[in-house]
């Protein structure tokens, strides 16, 4: 049984309702929005979310599921044009045990840059030898709190990044 995290109100629905000043939309579709992630572990990292409050992959309609991937491809193209990353990571968590924290479907799209000290996110990647850090360097969790502070940008900065990515979306 997959246990979905509890959150009331849902922070993604709150953002969509305009109650979060850092909320910045990069792209819009019929069923999805692509929004900047308030945690910028990598500059430009964003999420494709469903307009509807659907909790996990299992709750998506076929139309929503198809548009999520199409939107991810569009924004990944923009991120490559804008930031010239070495790679683009996409991932999505279903259930507390998989690392899901917000009970509203969101598909992460993350440009990976050389020298990145990303240590959280998909936890299995944090210790991969070739996860963008020096080969063989294990993840040191002692710096996580400082990193969380550092990657928390102001609403103005988040809006600037979103606007900059938006300019590079394909037609
Ligand atoms: Zn929601």
- Measured in angstroms, how far is the CA atom of residue 58 from the centroid of ligand 1? 15
Architecture field, domain 11-166: 2-Layer Sandwich (3.30)
- Measured in angstroms, how far is the CA atom of residue 49 from the centroid of ligand 1? 9
- Measured in angstroms, how far is the CA atom of residue 167 from the centroid of ligand 1? 27
**Contact at 8 Å (CB) between 117 and 146?**
no
Section 51-64 average pLDDT = 98
pLDDT at 145: 77
Answer whether residue 123 shows pLDDT above 50: no
Q: Return mean pLDDT, the chain.
A: 87
In whole angstroms, what is the distance from residue 72 CA to residue 109 CA?
Answer: 7
Answer whether residue 139 shows pLDDT above 80: no
pLDDT digits (tens, 9 = 90+) for 10-48: 999 999 999 999 999 999 999 999 999 988 888 999 999
Answer whether residue 143 shows pLDDT above 90: no
Taking a 5 Å cut-off on Cβ, the residues next to ion ligand 1 are 10, 12-13, 53, 104
Section 79-93 average pLDDT = 93
In whole angstroms, what is the distance from residue 70 CA to residue 105 CA?
Answer: 15
In whole angstroms, what is the distance from residue 97 CA to residue 78 CA?
Answer: 32
pLDDT at 134: 53
Answer whether residue 127 shows pLDDT above 50: no
In whole angstroms, what is the distance from residue 51 CA to residue 79 CA?
Answer: 22
pLDDT at 149: 82
In whole angstroms, what is the distance from residue 150 CA to residue 8 CA?
Answer: 27
pLDDT digits (tens, 9 = 90+) for 106-120: 999 999 887 776 654
Ranges of each domain in the chain:
11-166
- Measured in angstroms, how far is the CA atom of residue 164 from the centroid of ligand 1? 26
pLDDT digits (tens, 9 = 90+) for 149-170: 888 899 999 999 999 999 999 9
């Amino acid at each position: 049984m997959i246990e979905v995290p509890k959150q009331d109100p849902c922070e993604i629905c709150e953002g969509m309702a305009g109650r979060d000043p850092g909320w910045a939309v990069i792209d819009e579709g019929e069923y999805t929005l692509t929004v900047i992630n308030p945690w910028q572990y990598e500059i430009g990292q964003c999420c494709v979310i469903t307009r509807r409050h659907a909790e996990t992959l299992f709750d998506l309609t076929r139309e929503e599921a198809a548009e999520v991937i199409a939107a991810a491809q569009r924004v990944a193209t923009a991120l490559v044009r804008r930031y010239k990353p070495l790679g683009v990571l996409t991932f999505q968590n279903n259930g507390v045990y998989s690392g899901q924290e917000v009970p509203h479907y969101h598909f992460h799209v993350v440009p990976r840059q050389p020298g990145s000290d990303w240590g959280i996110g998909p936890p299995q990647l944090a210790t991969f030898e070739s996860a963008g850090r020096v080969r063989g360097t294990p993840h040191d969790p002692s710096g996580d709190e400082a990193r969380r502070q550092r990657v928390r940008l102001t609403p103005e900065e988040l809006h600037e990044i979103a606007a900059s990515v938006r300019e590079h979306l394909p037609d």
